[in-house]
Amino acid sequence: MRVVLLLLLLLLAVLQARLWIADDGYRAAWRLSDQVASQARENAMLVERNRALKAEVADLKTGLDAVEEIARSELGMIREGETLYQVVEPDTSAERD
């Protein structure tokens, strides 16, 4: 009876050690859990980005205000009759020399 009990305890110890130490044990499960959480955060950010892009596309399709805003800010376009004033900041590194 004692031999059987010792064998069972030894088997339990080996299985527990494998469960805690092996590459496919609890450490791997915790690592995968962290990866899942990280991916869920990234997915949430991408969903928000997609929502913003869809709203921008819808705005571009329906209104001219968004097209005009992009043309002005990104392409530097001006309306007919407007005058563009460009302010150039002085180069501070040239003043030090």
Spatial CA neighbour of 82 closest among 95, 94, 68, 93? 68
Residue that has been written with the tokens 């962290």 in this structure: 34
Handedness of CA 41, 43, 47, 52 (dihedral sign): positive
Q: Considering Cα of 67, then 73, then 77, then 80, what sign does the dihedral take?
A: positive
Measured distance between the N- and C-terminal CA atoms of the chain, rounded to whole angstroms: 93
Q: Can you give the pLDDT at residue 49? A: 98
Verdict on whether the full-model pTM lies above 0.85? no
Give the model's confidence band at 39: pLDDT under 50 very low, under 70 low, under 90 confident, else very high. Answer: very high
Compute the distance between CA of residue 86 and CA of residue 78 in angstroms, rounded to an integer. 12
